[in-house]
Amino acid sequence: MGAFERQQEVVKFVKAALECSVYLAPREPGLTQEELFEIGRRAGLGRGEIGDVMSQVAGDTFFGDTRIPPRSDGIWSTFHFPQVPDYRNVAAFDFVCDTLQAIARSDGAHQAQVDRAVLVARAVAQALPERDVEAAITIMVLDGHLLETAGVLRFAPGRHQYPLPSEQVRQGHDARQRVGFERRNETRAKAYALVKDVVERRSDGRVRTIEPFDAFADALETLGYAPFRLWWKQAVAELRHAEPNLSPVTVTVFSAALVEGALTFVVKHARALGLGVLG
């Protein structure tokens, strides 16, 4: 695979990861740069490769720890030609559309609106998974079918006649029967499992990353050394960017600094637990 083809594969993977974040965390979609580095590393991609495509995927929105927002290509809420695997819940999309369309028939398209929390509560009362409904809403907002203002949803101008997703699925099924093929998105399938783990780490008590250098940075606050987090991350960044063959002294110095720092930071914790020198 050539350099250009490789870069396009990286772009495709990053876009798929951001898309999967909508299905897994629809109220907090997107991924931070560090989360993308973690996901990419576990997919066999280098930090440099991920960093090089950021401008193509997120523009200037990825600076610092800001979560990079997903960008729909305009067809996430289109079901005529669903891809496999498909993590969207058609029934959830139907409920959102049908509810707003019913209000539009009663009050007029321009007056049709509903509080997002109320809409989700109604859907849950109908035994629909809350996350799937939230994902449907977020996707329809990203695709421009819905507008959301202060938690209130309404159709975008001219979108109230949006065909029900279940009808689109039926039409797409008929078309596939004639054409005889389905599109499988292996990149999305690969990204989904990795994004799922990263999203779950945000709230389940595990460290946010399994990469030791990054995990230790997050542990510094617990150890009582939060002010040193920036120093640690800067030292790690310098080490990662240094070339062992070209700058052996630089690599040695930063490696030694990190080892000494780590030992210093864990002393109090180790003593509190009564651990020995090699404990």
Domain coordinates of the chain in residue numbers? 3-72+185-201, 90-179, 212-272
Over residues 81-121, the pLDDT tens digits come to: 777 899 999 999 999 999 999 999 998 888 889 999 999 99
Nearest residue to 255 (alpha-carbon basis) of 227, 233, 234, 235: 235
* Top-confidence range, 52-66, 71-85, 119-133: 119-133
The set of residues, in sequence order, having a beta carbon less than 8 Å from that of 140 and lying 6+ positions away, is: 77, 93, 96, 97, 146
**Average pLDDT in the 202-207 region?**
74
**Average pLDDT in the 214-219 region?**
84
- Does pLDDT of 177 surpass 70? no
Tokens of 206: 């595990």
Q: Which is more confidently placed, 275 or 42?
A: 42
Over residues 71-83, the pLDDT tens digits come to: 888 889 889 877 7
Where is average pLDDT lowest: 123-132, 169-178, 188-197? 169-178
Q: What is the average pLDDT score of the chain?
A: 87
Q: Specify the pLDDT at position 33.
A: 86
Q: How far apart are CA 70 and CA 117, in angstroms?
A: 22
Q: How far apart are CA 208 and CA 198, in angstroms?
A: 7
Over residues 253-264, the pLDDT tens digits come to: 989 999 999 989
Reduced DSSP (H G I as helix, E B as strand, rest coil) percent helix, strand, coil of the chain, to 5: 60, 5, 35
Query: Quick one: how far is CA 172 from the chain centroid?
Result: 28
- In this prediction, residue 272 has a pLDDT band, given cuts at 50, 70 and 90, of confident
Q: How far apart are CA 28 and CA 55, in angstroms?
A: 21
**Average pLDDT in the 56-84 region?**
75
CATH code for residues 90-179? 1.10.10
- Does pLDDT of 30 surpass 80? yes
The set of residues, in sequence order, having a beta carbon less than 8 Å from that of 74 and lying 6+ positions away, is: 143, 144
DSSP 8-state code for residue 154: E
Q: Which residues pair with residue 184 across a beta bridge?
A: 84
Query: Quick one: how far is CA 108 from the chain centroid?
Result: 36
Q: Specify the pLDDT at position 222.
A: 85
Q: Specify the pLDDT at position 60.
A: 47
The set of residues, in sequence order, having a beta carbon less than 8 Å from that of 52 and lying 6+ positions away, is: 7, 10
- Does pLDDT of 166 surpass 50? yes
Evaluate the CA torsion angle 240, 243, 245, 246 in order and state its sign.
Answer: negative
**Average pLDDT in the 25-52 region?**
90
- In this prediction, residue 21 has a pLDDT band, given cuts at 50, 70 and 90, of very high
Where is average pLDDT lowest: 2-11, 79-88, 119-128, 168-177? 168-177
Q: Specify the pLDDT at position 256.
A: 93
- 């109090």: which residue's tokens? 268
Reported as half-sphere exposure (CB side, CA atoms, 13 A), residue 148 has a value of 15
Amino acid at 105: R
